[in-house]
Every structure is written in C-alpha cells, then in structure tokens.
C-alpha cells in the first residue's frame, strides 16, 4: 500500500512539475504558431508586447494572453489603427500542448478594446484584411500541424468601444461602454447563439443625429446557419433607452449584398413607452410616473442592402388621448396625441421621408399643436412645419423634469407656417423660403449667473413674412437699462436648421443703457491649501469675454445716457456691427467731459489674444474731468494733472487686450494729436513742475496760461514719443520734446531762450556797458535735461553752455562797439592831420592805439567773469518779482 501511495505521489509531483514547466516549455512554439497563423491569414501588421501562458487560471484548459495587442492597416489605409486591446485571452485544451498542434481556440475574451472600422468613399473597407482563400489554404497545408483554428464555444468583449464610419453613405456609428458575450458552437453548421449586450450608442446619417448617447440593451437568442450565413432572431428583448422592443425575422449575408427581413414592436401599449424613447438623461427615472392612454411603436424593415439600395421600411409611432405626471412635479401633461411615421417604399435612400401628422398636448388650459413633414431626407430635405397654440413656459418645468441652466417663464403665442428646402437655406437663397404667421412672447424673465441682473422682456413679437422675419417690437429692462428694439432677421431658418450665422439689422433706442448691468466682477481662483506651494497659471476663475461667433448683425442705436464704469456718455448715437467674432463701432458720437467724443474702430476676439484698433476724436473736453476719468489720458500726458482748461485730441490706437478686454499698455501702437485750447497751470499739483519752478528763479510758472498749444505723439513698444513743440512764457521761448513710458519714466529735453534783460541787478563789469536795446535783444539758450519719473524728477541744467554763449554775445557786442569808437577817433585824427602839425600828432596816435588794445583785453576778461556770476546767480535763490 505504501508503495502504491509512493507511486501516486511521484506521479502527482511529476504532474505538478510538468504544469509549472509547461508555460516555459510551450510558450515559444505556441507564440510562433499564433504569429504564423495570423501572418498567413491577414494582410495587416499584428503585434503584441507580451504573451503569457497559464495552466492554472482556466484549468483544465490552458489560457493564452496577448497583452497590448494592435492591428495596423496596410494600403489603402496605410498606418491606420484597425484595433487595439489591452488584453486578448484565448483558451485551448492542455493535450494540444503536448501534441505540438494544431491549436484550436475554444474561448475568447477581449478586454478594453478599441475597434475603428472605416469605409472610404470608393467602398474600400479597412476591416477587409483577410487574405484570399487559395492563399490561406496553401499556407495552412504547408504549415504542417502547427496551425491555429477557431472552434469557439464562448466569447466576451468587455468595456470596449467601436467606431464605424462609412464615407460613401455618410454613416457614423459610435458605441461606447460596450459589453457583450455569446455562447454557441461555432464548429457546427447550425447552432443556437445566446447573447447579451449592453452599450451606449450614437448614430448619425448624412449629418442628421438620430441617436445621441442612447442606452441600448439586447438579450437575444439567434439561430445561426453558418453554412448559408443566415442569422434568425429567436427569443429576444431589447431596451432602447427605456423603450422595450421585441424583434422577429432574419439577416442573411450574401456574396454581393445583405438581405434583411425584420419586424419589431413594443410588447405593451402603455404610454410610459413614449417616455422610454427619450434619453434617460432627460427623461429621468420613470418610477412612479402616472400615465394614461397608449403608445405603440411598430416597424418593418425588409429588403436588400448594397451600394445602391437600403431596406424598405415602415416605422410608425402612435398615441391617442394620453397623459403623464411625474410624482414630484405639480403639473400634468394631458390630451397627448401623436401620429408619426418613417417610410421608404422603394429601397432608394433618397425616397425616405417622415410624416408628423399630429403632435398635440395640453398643460392646464394651454394647448399647443405641431405638424409637418420631412421629405427627400438624403439629398435636399424639404421641410414643411406648422405650429399653433399658447404655452406658459414656466409650466414646462412644472410638468417635465427639465435640466436647464435657466428658469423658463413667460407666455408664448405662436401661429405660423414655414416651408423650405435645405439647399436654399445653405446657399442663402431665402427667396425660396415661404413663411407666414406670427409669434410673440410676453412677461419673459432671463436669469443667468453670467449677468448680474435679471433681463425682463415685457413683450416681443415676430412677424413671419416670406423670407424675412420682422422683429416688430421688443421692450427690455435690466438693472438701470431700458431698451426698445425693432429690426429684421434675414435668415432665422438658416440659423435654426443649418449651421449658419444669425444675420439681421436692428434699431435700438434707450433712455439709459448701463454696460455695468451686463458685466460680472472678476473672481480670483483660490488654490487648495494642500497646493499653496504650487505655482498656478490660472489667475482668474472667470472665462474670457468672447464676441458671439454666430452673429452677423448690425445695430443702429441712440441713447440719452450710456453708463460705462464711472463714465456717463450723453446723447450717444452710432452703429455697432458684429461679424466674424469682431465688434465694429461706426460713427459713434457722445457728449462727455463738457465736450464731445467720436469713436470708430473694432475689437476682435477671434484669435487667442483679443486685439483692438480704435480712432478717438475728443473735442473741447474739460482737462480735469478727462484726466480724472480716463486712464489713457493719465498715461499719455501725466502733466495734464496740473492743467485746468479745455483741449482737443485725436488718437489712433491699436494693440492687444486682456481676456477681460482691457488694453495691454505695453502692446500699444499708434499716434495722437493734442491741442490745448486754453489752460491755466497749477505747479503745486505735479512734483516735476513744482521742482522746475523752484530751480528757475527767472521763470515764474505760477498761474501760467497756455493757449493754442499743439503737439503730436507716437506710441511704440510701450513708449510715448512726443515730437518737439514750442511755446512762450512772456518773452521766454521754450522748446520741449522727448519720451516717457506708461509707467511714467521720462527722458525729455527743454531748451529755454532767455532774454538778457532778466539778468537785472546781477549785471556787473563788462555787462554794464550793454545798452537797454542790447538787453532787450540779447538771449541765452539754456538746455535742461529731465529724467527719472514724473513723481521723482531729476533736473540737469547745462550751465557751461549758457555761460559760454552769453559771454560770447557780450564780447562780440563790445568788440563791435570798440571798433566803431576806434573808427570815430581815427577819423578825428585824420581831420587834425589835414589841418594841423604832423610831428606833434604821430606820437599821440601810437600811444592811443596801445591804450585801446590794453583796454580791450581787460574788458574781455571782465565780461567772461561777469557772465558766469550773473547766470549762476539766476538759480537757487528766491524769485525776483521784478
């Protein structure tokens, strides 16, 4: 007995060792067999990062796992990804390992896969990667016993997604959260396949969205005739959103087409089925919903599918005298009648049409009805719609669980009909649009976190007449703002039914329009306490202000008062054009600062960085008011703070804007012209003038009056360049020019032309010889350099140049005077010679000439010394009122 147990133990030990060693021994041959089989079967590049073989996890079968599998297309879809998967699991019998093949897969698991199916406009399919049958048969024969075959009994696809795009038919199908499994014998010619499927489905055909993230569940059994490629529905139950359906019929795949013969219907006629058609996101939980009446869906799809045909179809939805009420809402929707059908009677795609013969409902006493039809859906859709009734919008949220960002309110009245084709809309041939009737809304209130005040529309009415829609009246109030709007909409149908911009022209009249009523204060994002050390790149929690891209409109406006921030513009009028995310101001004028302002220009938010280009014309505005309220004036002319009076200015300015649409000063470019019409100077209001007034004793800036003073500015790279300009303070000429930055760092040059008469009692020495006429006409140039900032100025006087110039002028005048005197004396001597004793005169003449040279040399030294003393005495002392 012990010997038997010992033998059994040895056998078990050998089996365990064999099971442990098997993955190592057989991994290489199996991986080689898989690669050979795939490469001989498909025309694509198939790769995986790792292959694992285990005999424990799926015992008594062996489990093969391919990790990070990818299938990449070859021409004509070179480089496209057909499929990827985090893991593909294959199960096969352990005895096959010891036989060395062929290997037969009986179970398959695909996890976290992405399948991307594409059919191009020529009909080429990227999934058509199987090699021809003759090639495959030959390679299998040559491969001996190491081939790979699929004898699947069970398969699973978990947490995967599928994209299907057919460019030839403009069909797009997206399946996400796809979970599916099936059980059946794929080795038999006929078998029963049991399946279960759950997925989120979106479906679009020719740019028309029929399903949008709809939940689909299908629990179905099929009879599979693999020899004839025919699949027949047996027991099944489908759930589209929350609408239950049952199917009957078959799908057969032929060599050149597919044959479909299906019917489906709702298993019951409860009206709750209608709510089940609506996506669950919007319909919410149907538990507890009370319904009356019926709702049925019946459909038939039958025919051939090929390049030229689709199946014929007849799908109808009907309901009569139905109602529903959600348990948590106060209102009931009653008298519901629905009669709609989707049909195709020829199998030609273009012949598909929809008839909405009836859609009626009532909430309280308000009744609303819609009907119409949609034809030629695949080519040039023809649309005919009629709407008639009254609806209290506030009751919609009280009867149906809407999930909106705003509260619906107001009374809607509509009685209108429209008829058009989509080609005319897309080509803007609005003469082909036929519309008639009216629509109005009253007592409407719009509330949004993006607007600080409620927007109240007491009444608005639209008149539909052929191609145009007329806004006959619209009265709006919000905060301090009131507005009366009329105008026309050129393409309302194009905006509603096609991807077009809303075009129109409007006239706006307002007594008071406050821009602040439509602006939200900026809020800063507060970083998490745990991340206080991290650097944040988002300074504000507010989104950037954007000009609407869907608008192509022009507004002519007049307003008695326009309030912007702390400014009030009166008698404002002009035009605002909005197009291509750009707002353009045209011939805008307003009264402000005791004068008038004219504005032309534009603001664009089309690119990442908003930009602007403006022309401002300010006429006879008060300097004090404009300086206190306009930041631009404060930067352009900081010294205007010391002026009281009026000015004109023209400014051409362009640059970048912040996300809140305020100018970035360092980006500004352009030019300006400024003219001071009449202004008095108060030096005490600016450190620069005050300091300059203190250092120049001969120049009294107190109570200075400026008149008709003009200059030009230029903006470049954050610098303001002031062209040189001149003005006089009494008979002192002053020339000013230079630059300063927007942070008030300056670099200016002043040149003063000072009359000698202001030298006063400081004159001595050679200067005393100047006549009164000389004092009136003699002037000295004094250069002054200004640097630092306007609040902390640095003043540099060029004394040396002034002294040298004054000295030279006085010397020249003395020389001229001495020459004249010498000529006069020489003349007198000549007269004496002609009439007197020559011997007696000669020595006296030589003596006089020597005395003149000595006197001239002495006067030059005296003049230079006196000029220096005079100019130095002009600065740093108390002002001489004289």
The count of C-alpha atoms lying within 13 angstroms of the C-alpha of 444, restricted to the half-sphere facing its C-beta, is: 18
Mean pLDDT for 772-781 is 63
Quick one: pLDDT at residue 760? 46
> What confidence tier does 307 reach under pLDDT thresholds 50, 70, 90?
confident
* Residue 73 parent element (H or E): strand 61-73
Spell 479-506 as b/e; 16+ CB within 10 A means b.
bebbbebebbbbbbbbbebeebbbbbbb
CA atoms within 13 A on the CB side of 882: 7
Q: How far apart are CA 445 and CA 453, in angstroms?
A: 10
Name the most confidently modeled range: 322-326, 749-753, 783-787: 322-326
Band of pLDDT at residue 262, cut at 50, 70 and 90: very high
Query: Mean pLDDT over residues 348-356, rounded?
Result: 88
**115: β partners:** 83, 162
Q: What is the pLDDT of residues 726-769, one digit of tens each?
A: 877 777 788 888 888 887 888 888 887 877 666 544 444 444 55
Percentage of the chain lying above the pLDDT 70 cut: 72
DSSP string, 101-151: --EEEEEEEEEEEEEEEEE-TTS-BTT--BPPHHHHHHHHHHTTT--EEEE
343-346, long-range: CB < 8 A, 24+ apart: 343/313, 343/314, 343/315, 344/310, 344/311, 344/312, 344/313, 345/312, 345/314, 346/312
Contact 877, 697 (CB under 8 A): yes
Instruction: Pick 295 or 452 by higher pLDDT.
Output: 295
In the block, residue with structure tokens 């010889």: 769
Spell out the residues 6+ positions from residue 261 whose beta carbon is closer than 8 angstroms to its own. Answer: 249, 250, 301, 302
pLDDT value of residue 869: 57
pLDDT attached to residue 198: 93
- Higher-pLDDT residue of 183, 379: 183
| Confidence at 623, pLDDT banded by 50, 70, 90 | confident
**Mean pLDDT value of segment 691-718:** 73
Question: What is the reported pLDDT for 224?
Answer: 87
Task: Give 545-604 as a DSSP string.
Answer: P---TTEEEEEEEEEEEEEETTEEEEEEEEEEEEETTEEEEEEEEEEETTEEEEEEEEEE
Backbone Cα Rg of the chain = 48
What is the Cα–Cα distance from 409 to 412, expressed in whole angstroms? 9
Higher pLDDT, 860 or 539: 860
Task: Give the whole-angstrom CA distance, residue 107 versus residue 91.
Answer: 5
Share of the chain above pLDDT 90, in %: 16
CA distances from 810 to 798, 852, 869 (A): 19, 18, 14
What is the pLDDT confidence band of residue 358, given thresholds at 50, 70 and 90? very high
Of 55-69, 290-304, 557-571, 659-673, the range with the lowest mean pLDDT is: 55-69
Count of other CB atoms within 10 angstroms of residue 631: 12
pLDDT attached to residue 819 = 66
**How far out from the chain centre does Cα 812 lie?**
73
Cβ atoms of residues 755 and 763 within 8 Å: no
Is the pLDDT confidence value at 367 over 90? yes
H or E element that contains 653: strand 643-656
Task: Determine the Cα–Cα distance for residues 795 and 737; give it in Å rounded to an integer.
Answer: 15
Each residue of 108-139: pLDDT tens digit? 889 999 999 998 888 788 888 877 655 444 44
pLDDT band at 348 (very low <50, low <70, confident <90, very high): confident
Of 277-291, 384-398, 467-481, 514-528, the one with minimum mean pLDDT is 514-528
Enter the DSSP assignment of 386. E
Q: How confident is the model at residue 560 (pLDDT cuts 50, 70, 90)?
A: very high
User: In what helix (H) or strand (E) does residue 196 lie, and over which residues does it extend?
Assistant: strand 190-205
Name the residue with higher pLDDT: 776 or 597: 597
Task: Please give the pLDDT value at position 667.
Answer: 82
Name the least confident of 577-581, 600-604, 686-690, 835-839. Answer: 835-839
Distances (CA, A) of 669 to 605, 608, 718, 868: 18, 19, 8, 46
For the cut 60, the answer to whether the pLDDT of residue 859 exceeds it is no
Q: Which residues contact 69 (CB under 8 A, 6 or more apart)?
A: 46, 47, 48, 83, 84, 85, 87, 88
Q: In angstroms, rounded to a whole number, what is the distance separating the alpha carbons of residues 21 and 538?
A: 58
Q: 809 φ, ψ to 5°?
A: -65, -45
**Per-residue model confidence as pLDDT tens digits over 10-33:** 444 444 444 444 455 455 666 676
Asked if 663 and 655 touch (Cβ cutoff 8 Å), the reply is: yes
- What is the tens place of the pLDDT at every residue in 453-502? 788 889 999 888 766 788 899 998 988 889 999 998 877 766 776 667 77
pLDDT confidence of residue 408: 76
The Cα 428–Cα 486 span in angstroms is 23
pLDDT tens, residue by residue, 194-250: 999 999 988 887 666 677 788 889 999 989 888 888 889 988 888 887 788 898 999
Q: Is the pLDDT of residue 711 over 60?
A: yes
User: 28-37, 431-440, 502-511, 606-615: lowest mean pLDDT where?
Assistant: 28-37
* 3 state DSSP class of 734: strand
CB neighbours (10 Å) of residue 474? 20
Report DSSP state, residue 538.
-
Residue 333 has pLDDT above 80, yes or no: yes
How high is the mean pLDDT of the chain? Answer: 77
Q: Nearest 5°: phi and psi at 66?
A: -105, 120
Q: Are 428 and 494 in contact, with CB atoms under 8 Å apart?
A: yes
pLDDT-wise least confident of 311-315, 628-632, 787-791: 628-632
pLDDT of residue 388: 93
Task: Please report, to the nearest 10 degrees, the dihedral formed by the alpha carbons of residues 184, 188, 189, 192 taken in order.
Answer: -20
Per-residue burial over 679-713, b if 16 or more Cβ lie within 10 Å, else e, is: bebbbeebebbbbbbeebbbbbbeebebeebebeb
pLDDT band at 151 (very low <50, low <70, confident <90, very high): confident
**272-282 residues labelled b (16+ CB within 10 A) or e (exposed):** bbbbbbbeeee
712's CB contacts (< 8 A; 6+ apart) are 671, 672, 673, 674, 722, 723
pLDDT at 195: 92
């Amino acid at each position: 007995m012990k010997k038997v147990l010992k033998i059994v133990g040895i056998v078990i030990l050998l089996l365990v060792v064999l099971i442990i060693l098997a993955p190592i021994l057989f991994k290489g041959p199996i991986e080689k067999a898989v690669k050979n089989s795939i490469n001989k079967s498909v025309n694509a590049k198939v790769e995986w990062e790792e292959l694992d073989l285990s005999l424990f996890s799926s015992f008594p079968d062996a489990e093969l796992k391919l990790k990070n599998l990818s299938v990449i297309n070859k021409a004509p879809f070179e480089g496209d990804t057909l499929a990827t998967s985090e893991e593909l699991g294959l199960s096969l019998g352990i005895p096959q390992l010891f036989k060395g093949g062929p290997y037969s897969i009986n179970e398959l698991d695909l996890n976290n896969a992405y399948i991307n199916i594409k059919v191009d406009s020529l009909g080429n399919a990227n999934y058509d990667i199987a090699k021809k049958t003759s090639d495959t048969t030959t390679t299998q024969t040559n491969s001996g016993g190491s081939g790979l075959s699929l004898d699947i009994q069970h398969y699973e696809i978990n947490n995967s997604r599928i994209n299907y795009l057919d460019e030839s038919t403009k069909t797009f199908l997206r399946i996400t959260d796809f979970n599916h499994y099936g059980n059946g014998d794929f080795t038999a010619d006929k078998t029963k396949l049991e399946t279960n499927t759950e997925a989120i489905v979106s479906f679009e055909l020719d740019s028309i969205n029929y399903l949008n993230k709809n939940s689909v569940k299908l629990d179905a059994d099929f009879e599979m005739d693999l020899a004839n490629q025919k699949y027949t529905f047996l027991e099944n139950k489908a759930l589209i959103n929350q609408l239950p359906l049952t199917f009957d019929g078959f799908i057969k795949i032929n060599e050149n087409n597919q044959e479909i013969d299906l019917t489906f219907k709702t298993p019951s006629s409860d009206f709750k089925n209608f709510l089940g058609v609506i996506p669950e996101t919007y319909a919410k939980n149907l538990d507890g919903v009370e319904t009356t009446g019926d709702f049925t869906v019946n459909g038939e799809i039958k025919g051939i599918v090929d390049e030229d045909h689709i199946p014929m179809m007849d799908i109808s939805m009907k309901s009569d005298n139905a109602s529903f009420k959600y348990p948590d809402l106060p209102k009931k929707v009653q008298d519901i009648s629905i009669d709609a059908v989707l049909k195709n009677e020829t199998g030609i795609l273009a012949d598909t049409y929809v008839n909405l013969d009836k859609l009626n409902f009532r909430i309280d006493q308000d009744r609303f009805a819609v009907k119409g039809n949609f034809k030629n859906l695949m080519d040039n859709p023809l649309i005919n719609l009629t709407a008639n009734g009254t609806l209290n919008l506030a009751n919609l949220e009280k009867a149906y669980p809407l999930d909106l960002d705003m509260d619906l309110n107001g009374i809607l009245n509509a009685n209108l009909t429209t008829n058009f084709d989509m080609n005319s809309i897309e080509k803007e041939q609005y003469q082909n649009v036929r519309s008639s009737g009216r629509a109005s809304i009253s007592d409407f209130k719009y509330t949004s976190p993006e607007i600080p005040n409620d927007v109240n529309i007491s009444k608005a009415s639209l008149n539909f007449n052929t191609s145009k829609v007329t806004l006959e009246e619209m009265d709006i109030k919000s905060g301090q703002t009131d507005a009366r709007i009329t105008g026309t909409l050129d393409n309302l149908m194009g905006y509603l039914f096609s991807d077009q911009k809303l075009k129109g022209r409007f006239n706006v009249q307002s007594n008071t329009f406050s821009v602040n009523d439509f602006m939200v204060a900026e809020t800063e994002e507060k970083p998490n306490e745990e991340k206080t050390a991290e650097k944040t790149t988002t300074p504000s929690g507010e989104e950037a202000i954007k000009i609407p891209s869907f608008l192509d409109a022009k507004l002519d406006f007049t307003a008695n008062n326009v309030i912007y921030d702390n400014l009030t513009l009166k008698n404002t009028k002009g035009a605002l054009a909005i197009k291509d995310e750009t707002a353009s101001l045209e011939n805008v004028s307003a009264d402000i600062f005791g004068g008038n302002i004219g504005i032309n220009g534009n603001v664009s938010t089309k690119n990442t960085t908003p930009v602007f280009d403006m022309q401002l014309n300010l006429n006879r505005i008060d300097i004090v008011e404009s300086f206190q309220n306009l930041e631009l004036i404060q930067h352009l002319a900081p010294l205007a703070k010391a002026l009281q009076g009026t000015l004109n200015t023209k400014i051409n300015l362009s640059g970048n804007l912040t996300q809140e649409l305020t100018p970035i000063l360092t980006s500004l470019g352009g030019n300006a012209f400024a003219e001071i019409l009449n202004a008095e100077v108060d030096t005490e209001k600016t450190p620069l003038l005050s300091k300059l007034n203190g250092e120049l004793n001969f120049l009294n800036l107190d109570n200075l009056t400026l008149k008709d003073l003009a200059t030009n500015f230029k903006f470049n790279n954050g610098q303001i360049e002031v062209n040189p300009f001149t003005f006089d303070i009494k008979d002192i000429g002053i020339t000013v020019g230079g630059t300063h930055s927007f942070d008030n760092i300056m670099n200016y040059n002043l040149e003063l032309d000072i009359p000698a008469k202001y030298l006063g009692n400081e004159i001595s020495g050679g200067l005393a010889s100047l006549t009164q006429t000389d004092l009136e006409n003699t002037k000295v140039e004094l250069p002054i350099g200004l640097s630092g900032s306007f609040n902390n100025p640095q003043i540099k006087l060029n004394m040396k140049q002034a002294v040298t110039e004054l000295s030279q002028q006085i010397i020249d005048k003395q020389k001229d005077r001495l020459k004249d005197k010498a000529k006069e004396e020489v003349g007198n001597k000549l007269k004496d010679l002609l009439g007197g004793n020559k011997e007696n005169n000669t020595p006296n003449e030589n003596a006089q000439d020597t005395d003149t040279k000595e006197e001239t040399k002495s006067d030059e030294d005296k003049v230079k010394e006196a000029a220096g003393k005079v100019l130095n005495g002009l600065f740093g002392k108390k002002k001489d009122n004289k």
